[in-house]
Amino acid sequence: MELPSSSDSSRILSAVAPWLETQRWFPRSPGAINVSAAYFVNGKAGILAWLVVDAASCRFNVPVFLRQPAGAASPALGSLAQWEITDATADPYGQEALFLAVTGAMPSKLHCDVVHPLPAPTHAARLTSEQSNTSVVYDFPGGVQAILKVFRVYALGSNPDVELQRALDSTETVPHFYASARITESQGSADVAVVQEFLPGATDAWQAIQQHIATPSARTTPRSAWEGAIAELGRTTRRMHEALAAECGTETATQERQAELHRQWTARAHAAIAARPELADWEGTIATVYSATSHVTWPALQRIHGDYHLGQVIRIPSGGWRVLDFEGEPLRPLAERQRRDLALRDVAGMLRSFDYAAGAAQKSGGDPHYLAQWASRAQAAFLSGYGNLSGDQDILLEALLLDKALYEVAYEAAQRPAWIDIPLAGVRHIIERV
């Protein structure tokens, strides 16, 4: 069938603009929007139109599907000549065309990296829980499932969710990596989608732990059962870090880099104090915790997860753990998300997440004394699985825990004031240890 011309891309964008502004991943007040690139691919029942849209100083991936009016399940977002325009991630034919294009099974201008080929899917369904990206789950013969994620923010360079999960494919710490796709332009190239293993029956660690500690029988559950599972999460985290160091390399934590990280910690502390002025009473102690790291030997810096918490890990039916979502905050500059850092930052993120799990359960009516004990034992179990830390690493970890808790104070003050008592308690607990 005849493909639309590049001049049609602006008409397509005009037709779908009202829908775009209702999407959680798109700016609420985008100002002027335009198409910076458009790629058209013939599908089996229409045309896949991959638009790169400029809005609010960002670029976004917007794949839509052009189909003949046929009353399909997915509602039309607009029209172009004889075509109805639908969201490709929601339209059944669009979902099929997306999968074939991203896995290189259909000619397109996408540059595909296929690690483990898959057959044609038999069914597809879009997930509805995500905010910053859009994912579609595909079924294949034999009960195999895969998930295709469209990165909504278009950023030149290697997306960490592609780069790092591909590096970890053989380690059993992440779902298997099947394929990814990039768009290449004169200024460089950008990862736009990835396909990886979907694990049915898996539950994210946050949900699993919330269910466990909210159950009345949790207090009588043998500690060895759940503490053993959390220790295994620590071992999984260690394997992830060791593999990332081996695959992606390391670098020395120079004095300049240490000073840069200190400045970042101090800036986040000032933001927390601005949000909660009573923290100013502890400003000297906070500085003491940070300055202590200037007198220790730092381990090498390496690629890390960067946004590590219980919601980024799933428990699979066989009992193991898999780590997800290495992309980090998609609106942060990609260069920042790719920088090497202390692996202990991930450790601090997970330890703080146990505190949050206990705090959330307490807000739902749980017993504060029991939950405080639970969080302490969970943190100890995770650290036991992760492995021994040196005295110097303990000092660095304390600074990273404080930095994380102070960041959480500023975040909760702005986004979720009713939860601010959780990070405030974390800051207080760390300060009391000094």
Residues 262 and 281 in one domain: yes
Q: What percent of the chain has pLDDT over 90?
A: 77
Residues 166 and 273 in one domain: no
Residues 193 and 209 in one domain: no
pLDDT tens-digit profile of 162-200?
999 999 999 999 999 999 999 998 889 999 999 999 998
Residues 228 and 331 in one domain: yes
pLDDT tens-digit profile of 260-304?
999 999 999 999 999 999 999 999 999 999 999 999 999 999 999
Does 298 fall in a domain? yes
Tokens of 307: 């946004």
Task: Indicate if the pLDDT at residue 49 is higher than 90.
Answer: yes
Distance CA 276, CA 424 (A): 9
Boundary residue ending a domain (165, 180, 197): 197
| pLDDT attached to residue 248 | 96
> Of residues 72 and 420, which shows the higher confidence score?
420
Residues 118 and 252 in one domain: no
CATH number at residue 275: 3.90.1200.10
Residues 109 and 218 in one domain: no
Boundary residue ending a domain (197, 232, 258): 197
Residues 35 and 169 in one domain: yes
| pLDDT attached to residue 129 | 76
Does 166 fall in a domain? yes
pTM: 0.88
Does 3 fall in a domain? no
Q: Which domain holds residue 233?
A: 203-433
CA-closest candidate to residue 168, choices 119, 108, 239: 239
Domain count, the chain: 2
Does 2 fall in a domain? no
| pLDDT attached to residue 48 | 94
Boundary residue ending a domain (163, 197, 231): 197
Residues 274 and 314 in one domain: yes
| pLDDT attached to residue 223 | 67
Residues 353 and 215 in one domain: yes
Tokens of 289: 């915790």
